[in-house]
């Protein structure tokens, strides 16, 4: 308060500089924000805009590889989209992508939250664990997929060895990649392994931003550790949690490397998700119209999911 009064006096003293200050205020409120934003907008949209528009256009054509070069292609309207919806296999791909994507998001958030809670405690070795937990994130996706695929090897994999050594004899030679369910479990573990460190790191940063007084107050009101988490910490972090869910959803719906390396979408397309189907249609079948349509539909699905999330965030902000 005292400070404000002082500055008020000072402002009066500085009256001759007022016009200049006006100009600065206009600059700072109208021009500066855009100036700050400009470089980002240029790098984001300068490069991406043409590819996105072109993909949208291609999705309404029957473009093959030769037509990408010659530019000769037929406009087919919504036929690619109609084909996707009438093909039971491709319809299944969307269901699969959503189920697998959400399962990975749930796993990532659960493990990320547990890790962050653990690292928020005081115990010996906490700093070391804090670094170790980040390790999976540092391993490149392709290398991680190779080493995990190897650990899941039916004959010589360490996972089957360990499980059957502790008495689970059904895992002796268990074929993880013969069917979609165990194959997705294996791939899902790798995806969660690689993405939980990011979530844990961000949540930990969030935890530490919560003022200690709030937690102390809850504690003196008799709230236990779990209650404090449920009624104080998580509600305060809800915006951050929702942002993390949005980001994870976008990543996990687009998973490509891990599936490509570990299952290739097989056996018989049973682990194929949309991004892999996009690649297959475009790069192996050379049907760029269809590939583009799949990409656009994935975009639409993700946009819808994100809008729903953002609605949730906004309600939270209002409430």
Stretch that binds another protein, among 26-34, 75-83, 99-107, 226-234 (CB under 8 A): 26-34
Angle at 158 between CA 157 and CA 159, to 5 degrees: 95
Count the helix, strand and coil residues of the chain and give each as a percent rounded to the nearest 5: 80, 0, 20
| Residue that has been written with the tokens 């360490």 in this structure | 158
Residue 239 vs 312, nearer CB to another protein: 239
Contact pick of 161, 218, 238, 312 for another protein (by CB under 8 A): 161
- Across the chain, where does the E strand assignment appear? none
* Selected binder of another protein within 78, 82, 99, 142 (CB under 8 A): 142
Interacting residue with another protein among 132, 181, 185, 308 (CB under 8 A):
132
Report the site for another protein in 231-250 (rule: CB under 8 A): 239-240, 243, 246-247, 250
The distance of closest approach from Cβ of residue 254 to another protein in the complex, given in angstroms and rounded to an integer, is 5
Interaction between residue 313 and another protein (CB under 8 A): no
The correct pick among 171, 195, 197, 228 for binding another protein (CB under 8 A) is 197
307 binds another protein (CB under 8 A): yes
Among 98, 154, 218, 238, interactor with another protein by CB under 8 A: 154
* Closest alpha carbon to 58 in 302, 296, 277: 296
Restricting to residues 4-23, name those near another protein by CB under 8 A: 4, 7
**Residue 231 beta carbon to another protein: minimum distance, rounded to whole angstroms:** 19
Counting Cα atoms < 13 Å in the Cβ hemisphere of 28 gives 6
The pair of three-digit structure tokens given for residue 227, joined into one six-digit string: 């209650």
Least separation in angstroms between CB 292 and another protein: 6
Q: How far apart are CA 317 and CA 47, in angstroms?
A: 34
Sequence-separated (6 or more) residues with CB below 8 Å from residue 113: 199, 200, 203
Please identify which residue in 2, 5, 13, 155 interacts with another protein, judged by CB under 8 A: 155
Nearer to another protein, 233 or 275 (CB): 275
Q: What is the closest distance, in whole angstroms, from the C-beta atom of residue 30 to another protein in the complex? A: 9
- DSSP alpha helices (H): ranges in 16-125? 18-26, 32-58, 65-70, 79-86, 88-119
Distance separating alpha carbons of residues 183 and 52, to the nearest angstrom: 32
Q: At how many degrees (to 10) do helices 180-209 and 141-151 cross? A: 130
Residues within window 42-81 making contact with another protein, judged by CB under 8 A? 43-48, 50-52, 54-55, 62-69
Applying CB under 8 A, among 95, 131, 170, 318 the residue interacting with another protein is 131
| 114 belongs to the binding site for another protein (CB under 8 A) | yes
């Amino acid at each position: 308060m005292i400070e404000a009064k002082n500055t008020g006096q000072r402002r009066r003293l500085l009256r001759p500089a007022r016009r200049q200050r006006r100009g600065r205020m206009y600059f700072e409120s109208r021009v500066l924000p855009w100036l700050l934003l400009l470089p980002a907008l240029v790098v984001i949209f300068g490069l991406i805009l043409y590819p996105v528009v072109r993909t949208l256009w291609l999705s309404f054509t029957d473009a093959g590889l030769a037509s990408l070069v010659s530019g000769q292609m037929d406009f087919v309207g919504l036929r690619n989209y109609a084909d996707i919806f009438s093909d039971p296999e491709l319809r299944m791909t969307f269901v699969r992508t959503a189920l697998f994507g959400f399962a990975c998001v749930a796993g990532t958030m659960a493990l990320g939250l547990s890790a962050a809670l653990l690292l928020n405690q005081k115990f010996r070795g906490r700093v070391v664990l804090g670094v170790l937990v980040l390790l999976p994130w540092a391993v490149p996706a392709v290398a991680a997929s190779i080493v995990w695929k190897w650990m899941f090897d039916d004959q010589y994999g360490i996972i089957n060895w360990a499980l059957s050594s502790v008495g689970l004899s059904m895992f002796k030679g268990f074929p993880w990649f013969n069917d979609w369910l165990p194959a997705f479990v294996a791939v899902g573990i790798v995806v969660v392994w690689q993405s939980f460190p990011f979530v844990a790191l961000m949540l930990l940063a969030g935890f530490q931003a919560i003022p200690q007084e709030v937690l102390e107050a809850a504690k003196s009101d008799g709230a236990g550790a779990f209650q404090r988490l449920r009624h104080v910490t998580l509600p305060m972090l809800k915006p951050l949690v929702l942002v993390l869910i949005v980001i994870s959803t976008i990543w996990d719906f687009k998973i490509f490397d891990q599936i490509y390396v570990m299952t290739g979408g097989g056996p018989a397309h049973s682990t194929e998700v949309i991004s892999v189907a996009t690649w297959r249609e475009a790069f192996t079948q050379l049907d760029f119209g269809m590939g583009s349509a799949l990409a656009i539909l994935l975009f639409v699905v993700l946009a819808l999911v994100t809008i729903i999330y953002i609605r949730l965030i906004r309600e939270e902000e209002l409430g």
